[in-house]
Structure 1
Amino acid sequence: MMNSNLVGLRIETFDDVRKHFQIARNEGFAFIGIDLFPVLHLCPQSPHDVDEMLPLVRSGDVYPKKDCDSKDIRVSCISEHCLRKELSWAVHLALPAIEVPLRHDNNVKLAQLLTAFIKSEVASIKIWISVPMYTEGDVGQDASSPWHWWSQLVGLAGPAACESLGLLLEVPTDLPEEDVVSRWLSEPVSCLALSTHLFITNSKGFPILSRAHQHVLRQFLKINSQVLIMGPSHHERGPSIYRQYISWIWKCTVEAKSLYEKHSMGFEDQLQEPLQPLQDNLSSATYGVFEMDPYKYKAYEEAICLALVHRCTSRKVVESYQSPLPEVDSKGDSSVKQAMLYPVYSKVVSLDISTNIVIYILGAGQGPFVDASLQASRRSGCPVRVYVIEKNSNALLTLKHRMQTDWSGEDVHLVPGDMRCLSIPPPEKADIFVSELLGSFGDNELSPECLDGAQYLLKGESLRYDGISIPASYTSYVAPLQSLRIYIDTSRCMENLKFQERIQRHSETPYVIRLSNCQILAAPEEAFTFKHPRKGGPLSPVGYQDIDTTPNARYCRLTFVPRGDGVVHGFAGYFEAVLYDKITLSTHPQRHSPNMFSWFPMVFPLVSAMPVKAGQRITFHLWRCISPRHVWYEWATTEPTVSKIHNSAGSAYKIGL
């Protein structure tokens, strides 16, 4: 969000509406809020007046006791009639948004009216549902809490109508517990309503928010919520002083973003189909984005360095010290120290280095792992011979150029082809495999199939492979996810019955998503683990077509217990990889590698949203299925409700081998 679109002002007086509009605009406010009642009697002189003066109106004052769900039938009927007129007038004025208040737990008739209006109107208008963050005595799990009011409205409206709904969330003086705030962060909060009485005066006489309110505001600014200032100004400089303060908070929030947040700007909550680098050739731009990740390549260099030391035989003495793996700060400075220490060998004594250690780079891309291997060789004192294997014909051109320039004096050899079935394998087998075939869910870019297929190139025979694989293992994790925005996006075609294939594909495809406007309802649980080199039956030395892939098929049954009431819209997937020894990469939300941005979480969406209560069990089933030419996932829930098996037989999404 741009700073210029951030803050709006509620206008409470109507003696000279145009004058107040002009004042608000001159003081830098992006939009204004005004009751619809006076606007009904204010005929705009031109479309320019509408664009400049009526960005947001509030429904309610035509009939002050308006309640579509009132038990008094007369009140209910009059309320519905008035609301329809107000909505129609707002559309006529081409307003971008209209505010409709929500004040109790029964909103069935209101939901019916709003849904019918949204589906019948050609013109686009956003309906901001104003609701308090919590009510007095609300502990967050009470079925009559404001979030439950909103949840009922959303459930009745359905995902298609919810595209036109947003929240105007009223922030209270006494903030609720963190779990209540976190739940609202998974909803489409278009705007925060901040009353001027929330502000306190600092030592210099300026209005500021308490630290707790600042923290809440920053959280919602991160999901692009706007701010509406309400109430009379308590400062001589007028309401503009509040706008300036909110803009300053926004600026500080942007400047404090981590490297991960900066590199993922613009991708928040956007659906992206997972890459299939085995089936498709990646572009130079895609490689370039991944190569900007400083943490990943430093971690790989450390792992290769340590593996080289361990691989050198007849080691007598190794003098070592504990050195931190640098964490790159948000400005790219690698001097910031990380808490966890990794063993790095500064001096190697009496190593048998009569022969070079053979390293295979499997899927070299544009060569960053070649650089990491050569640097690790220099650091460890272990000479290496590097074979660079790549199937992407376009990336091979870049690698050939680097062979003639960057690596011209190094013992580096280029081997074109698919690692699983090289037509002319290198003359010697590998001591160390180095690969980065990991996807957002660990195995979803077919690292198991690729590394198992390439295992004939590793030193050792049949059941005994004594070579080293980097990564050595990786484990996927799953957690229940609440995100109305993601649910709306994945359900966008659900109601168009003419396009069954599109319906299925949208709602049963795993996506890679930079999660932002969401809540994780329970801690992630372990799903699948793969280890390399694979122990067990022999692999075919002639290619991947004859490999027994059955061991890479998987099934897991996971149980979660949510901390609070919520709605499960899907399941988020993460992974952790052990590169070598204690050197790891992780996207696990509780152990995320610092500032690593190469991977966003994977999401397995649900066709139907699943409400859950605090302490109620969620049981999730996940399959990793394999055919001779494809790999795919299937998933379902059996508690608290039974869902269909999503993506059955890979009908919506498959990964090509």
Structure 2
Amino acid sequence: MDASDSMDEPMPIFYIGHHETSPSMAVSEELIQHGQDLGYDMITAPITNSHFHGRVLELLGSYNQALADSSLPSDAQPLPLIPALEPSDTNLGPTDSISQLVVFASSWIDLSSPDPVIAYLSRQVLNLEIAYAAFCGVVTLVIPGPRLSHGSNGVAQYARAIKEALSSGGYLQVHILMPMDSCRSADSQEDVGDLARFARPEYLSGSSAQAGRPGPFRSWDAWNTVRSVCKYNNRLSIALETPRRLPCLALQTRWYSEPVRLLLIPSSSFLTNARGSSVLSKAHQHFIFRMMRLQRPPWLLLSGLGPLPGVDDPNMIMTYPDGHLSPRTAADASPRSSMSPSPTPAEAAQMPKTSKKKTNNADPTPHLSYLRYLQRNQPPKTMIERFGGGFQDYLQSPLQPLSDNLESITYEVFEKDPIKYAWYENAIAQGLYDWKAQQKTTSSGDGSVVVAVVGSGRGPLVTRALNASKSTGIPVRVYAIEKNPNAYVLLQRHNVEDWTRQVTVVKTDMRAWKGPSLADGTFGKVDILVSELLGSFADNELSPECLDGVQHVLNPQDGISIPASYTAHFTPIATPRVWSDIFSRSVTADPTAFDIPWVVMLQQLDYLSTEPQTESSQSQLLNGAKPNQLNLEAPLTPVVQTAWKFSHPLHPSILAQSSLRRGGSAIGGGGGFTGGDGANEHNTRDCCLTFPIQEQGVCHGLGGYFETVLYSGTQGSVELSTNPVTMEQKSKDMISWFPIFFPLKTPMHLPAKSEVQVSMWRQTDDRKVWYEWLVESFMTVDGRRIRLSTSDLHSSKASGCLM
């Protein structure tokens, strides 16, 4: 992919709405149209109005008065029941434009109240509103989050109410309104009619004590409780309100990993620059840009701006749109190709006459215009973002390269990598250079270095080997070994049309190949053995087993293996979206889904074990970096540890012992631990690693990566890496491999300042290879290490990689 390709890459479109916190007028078709004429994609509306609010307060007042006048105990009085909605209680109806509204449940309810009467009334209000919204055809519903001042009991009570509400609105997408941190929460109770104000004192004393000291992760912890009780319901997500000052990067990244579908930007979050314009801080810009790169980016809601401007100004009323974009809106839109997304509803509603209807040049929507400016000036997509469009957080089963013959399109995806094959060519060239410089004897007899590309696929490494020979001036004799009969046809065609018959193409499993055929009927050796058998976790596609099986053809004195070694790495991560997808599969299609290591381009995740960077993105912002100069990757460095290592070629004594065990001879021992003869047990591995957890979180599984040394010689090492800590340094923009994800059947809650201990095994029974993993949580209290929880022992044996 060259630079011209990247210029045509469509950038994310911002879908922006207007949210009036205290509506001044009823929502109508005209008001919706006016919002679109101003450039908004959507507006918000409450389900019920002040008339309904007054009825509920009157009912509560009557109930309290009855309690005061009665000599009976309170539990002898029936709880107050709210009658069905009346036409005067709501301005909504099942109109054609209802889908263009984001509706809000009443903010004055308190589902988490310790007062049973207030909680009961709040649940009734919510259920009435949800039922009516669903009847009207509403798609997007926002519910105020739990009152954090009521403590954990209040959050649990709130979560149960939300689970109950989800069952009554089967098609509604429910968004829980949460503050980004706990500094400004739903406890503000600015409305004098807030039901929380009427909670009886005898019920409040206990909840206040239970609430404890506020912490930055308190709001996220409440959300985690709600979604856990609701079993990660895919209709439940977050409406996140950004504060004027963003919290720490760790908390920002935590919210980034969560299903945020609405991002509320209050007017108080804007600053005023030297020209008097409303702008967002660079930290806010960075956070918005990062959120908009998600596979499902959130909608943006501007709140606290008051009513839509010009509602009562006849000069601001615009004629019915004809579907053409105004020049202003066209300038705001991102460049589009024929395959780009359709215009937003607001863009489609713009008219060429718009600017003529205004009486002056003042911008009636400066905050909206600023967000459109940010839309036009987003940082360019990285190579990985351009290549991975559509693959982010998409689950893929690991390949079975030995038992299955890959399709051409699979090979083609690998071959698009701009880094991998250039690095391989460099490694081969350095190996040839060192071979000549050290005056090693070749296996050809005529001075040519014998190079075998095993598992050559469609032949990209064969081409690179020939290129390396040409660039170094060192002659080679190249063999291409491939078991796939379909790829074999293409290799022969390449040999005639592209390689001028310089290559010997052999169709066989590399483990069965006896080596280069010699004139006397015997078989020779190979000087450089080149392979690209690595998987997302290095060894998960049986590279060790394949290279062991073909090592007998390698020059025993000076033979070079490319790659020379590789290591597997992992770290605990939070990835609610991926876990939710696996959970859905386990319920509907595959009960073993949690025992499969999935290949997935991890995007919406949070690293649970991190360490500070010497210069993070936050410090870059403070030092004046422009938004389009920022790295939109996770700003904290994860703690990624090494599980195990494989090196090639193996010492001959290891292969000799393996050969003795194969067949079950007495001298070979008593058989394998997990079945078979144990001939492959030299390729088993295990590890037990501990990761520090700085902030509380939930572990959904392990993110797995690899590093490999292709060749290490006199000119240094040629290395590849998918490890997020070292990839930038070793092989930036490499796209051939996505990470691997080892899921947990039950998400594990991790307290702050705790430890995660991961035990992992690579197992084999001579017929297949599989992984087993176990995660434990510990905390040190008064010098004692206490186990907090233990996961199931997961095993991928049922879906292991066949040998």
- TM-score per shorter chain, which class? 0.7 to 0.9
Cα drift, residue 353 of structure 1 = 10
Hey, what does 1:647 align to over in structure 2?
Answer: 795
For 1:191 and 1:59, locate their aligned partners in 2 and report how far apart those are by CA, in whole Å.
15
Partner of 1:618: 756
* Partner residue in 2 for 1:57: 103
Equivalent residue number for residue 251 of structure 2: 180
Return the alpha-carbon distance in structure 2 between the equivalents of residues 248 and 167 of structure 1: 25
How many residues align structurally?
600
CA distance in 2, matches of 1:134, 1:77: 28
429, 434, 445: which one aligns with 1:305: 429
Q: Which moved more, 1:207-216 or 1:36-45?
A: 36-45
For residue 622 of structure 1, give the secondary structure of its aligned residue in structure 2: strand
SS at match of 1:17: coil
2:599 paired residue number: 512
Cα distance in 2 for partners of 1:441, 1:24 equals 51
Match of 2:718 in 1: 583
Shift of 1:49: 2.8
**Aligned residues with identical type, % of pairs:** 34
Q: Check 1:438–1:244 CA distance in 2 against 1; reply closer, same or farther (3 A cut).
A: farther
Q: Could you tell me which residue of structure 1 aligns to residue 382 of structure 2?
A: 258
User: Within the alignment, does 1:9 sit opposite 2:9 as a pair?
Assistant: no
Q: Which residue of 2 aligns with 1:346?
A: none
- Alpha-carbon spacing, 1:444–1:299, altered in 2? closer, same or farther (3 Å): same
Secondary structure of 1:86's counterpart equals: helix
Q: Indicate the residue corresponding to 1:447 in structure 2.
A: 543
Residue of structure 1 equivalent to 2:59: none
Taking structure 1 as the reference length, the TM-score comes to 0.86
Report the counterpart of residue 508 of structure 2 in structure 1: 417
Aligned pair partner of 1:153 in 219, 226, 251: 226
SS of residue matched to 1:134: coil
Matched, 1:113 2:161: yes
Per-residue deviation, 1:373: 0.7
Check conservation: 1:456, 1:539, Cα contact below 8 A.
no
Listed as ranges, the matches of 1:332-481 within 5 Å are: 355-408=447-500, 411-422=502-513, 426=517, 427-460=523-556, 465-481=557-573
SS of the aligned residue for 2:789 comes to coil
2:640 maps to 1:524: yes
Q: Give the direction of change, closer, same or farther, for the CA distance of 1:364–1:244 in structure 2 (3 Å limit).
A: farther
User: What are the residue-to-residue correspondences of 1:262-277 with 2, within 5 Å?
Assistant: 262-277=386-401
Tell me, yes or no, if the aligned pair for 2:756 and 2:775 is still in contact at 8 Å: yes
Shift of 1:314: 5.0
Q: Following TM superposition, by how much is the alpha carbon of 1:120 offset from its aligned partner in structure 2, in angstroms?
A: 5.2
Aligned residue number for residue 91 of structure 1: 134
Deviations 1:66-99 (A, max 9, x none): 1122111111110011111111112112222111
- Answer yes or no: is the 8 Å Cα contact 1:420–1:544 preserved in 2: no
Q: Counterpart of 1:588 in structure 2: which amino acid?
A: N
Q: Deviations over 1:233-252 (max 9, x none)?
A: 79985564433432443444
Local SS of the residue matching 2:526? coil
Task: Say if 2:366 is the partner of 1:246.
Answer: no
How far apart in 2 are the matches of 1:623 and 1:69?
Answer: 45
Q: Output the amino acid matched with 1:591.
A: T
Structure 1 residue 612: Cα displacement:
0.5
Match of 2:285 in 1: 214
User: Which secondary structure state, in structure 2, belongs to the residue aligned with residue 438 of structure 1?
Assistant: coil
Between 1:423-432 and 1:517-526, the stretch displaced more is: 423-432
Matched residue, 1:326: none
Distance 1:614 1:429, change over 3 A: same
1:623–1:634: 8 Å Cα contact kept in structure 2? yes
* Number of the residue aligned with 2:693: 562
Query: Any stretches of 5+ residues in structure 2 without a counterpart?
Result: 1-9, 50-86, 186-211, 310-360, 518-522, 610-638, 664-677, 778-787
State the alpha-carbon separation in 2 of the partners of residues 561 and 364 from structure 1. 42
What displacement does 1:548 show? Answer: 2.4
Check whether the contact 1:367–1:399 (CA below 8 A) recurs between aligned residues. yes
Query: C-alpha separation between the residues in 1 aligned to 2:661 and 2:257?
Result: 44
Whole-angstrom distance in 1 between the partners of 2:364 and 2:231: 38
Report the 3-state secondary structure (helix = DSSP H, G, I; strand = E; otherwise coil) of the residue aligned with 1:454. Answer: helix
Is residue 283 from structure 1 mapped to residue 407 from structure 2 by the alignment? yes
- Distance in 2 (CA, whole Å) between partners of 1:430 and 1:413 is 13
Look up the SS of the partner of 2:386 in the other structure: helix
2:772 corresponds in structure 1 to 634
For 1:292 and 1:619, the matched residues in 2 are separated by: 38
Q: CA deviation at 1:4?
A: 5.2
- Cα pair distance change 1:576/1:243, threshold 3 Å: same
Q: 2: CA distance between counterparts of 1:514 and 1:311?
A: 38
- How far off is 1:556 after superposition? 0.8
Cα offset, 1:143, TM superposition: 8.1
The structural deviation recorded for 1:113 is: 2.0
- Aligned-partner SS, 1:517: coil
Deviation at 1:8, TM superposition (A): 1.6
CA distance in 2, matches of 1:217, 1:408: 54
Structure 1: give runs of 5+ residues left out of the alignment: 317-351
Q: What SS class does the counterpart of residue 158 from structure 1 fall into?
A: coil
Cα distance in 2, alignment partners of residues 314 and 595 from structure 1: 34
C-alpha contact (below 8 Å) 1:182/1:519 kept by paired residues: yes
Instruction: Give runs of aligned pairs for residues 16-165 of structure 1, distance below 5 A.
Output: 16-18=26-28, 19-38=30-49, 41-44=90-93, 46=95, 48-52=96-100, 54=101, 56-61=102-107, 64=108, 66-102=109-145, 103-104=147-148, 105=151, 106-119=154-167, 121=169, 123-136=170-183, 142=215, 145-159=218-232, 161=233, 163-165=234-236
TM-score between both structures, scaled by the size of structure 2: 0.71
- Equivalent residue for 1:198? 269
| Maintained 8 Å contact 1:417/1:423 | no
CA distance in 2, matches of 1:237, 1:4: 25
1:199 shift after superposition: 2.3
Between structures 1 and 2, the one with greater strand share: 1
Aligned-pair CA distance for 1:16: 4.4
Evaluate the alpha carbon distance shift between residue 140 and residue 374 of structure 1 in structure 2; reply closer, same or farther with a 3 A threshold: farther
Higher helix share goes to which structure? 2
User: Are the structure 2 counterparts of residues 638 and 183 from structure 1 closer, same or farther at C-alpha, using a change threshold of 3 Å?
Assistant: same
Given that residues 492 and 506 in structure 1 are in contact (C-alpha distance below 8 angstroms), is that contact kept between their aligned partners in structure 2? no
Q: What's the CA shift for 1:489?
A: 1.0
| Structure 1 residue 207 displacement after superposition | 3.0
1:320 paired residue number:
none
Quote the offset at 1:225 in angstroms: 2.1
After superposing the two structures, state which structure 1 stretch, 425-434 or 170-179, moved more.
Answer: 425-434
Q: How does 1:483-502 map to 2 (within 5 A)?
A: 483-494=575-586, 502=590
Distance 1:365 1:237, change over 3 A: farther
The alpha carbon displacement at 1:155 in A equals 2.3
RMSD: 2.8
Matched letter for residue 608 of structure 1: T
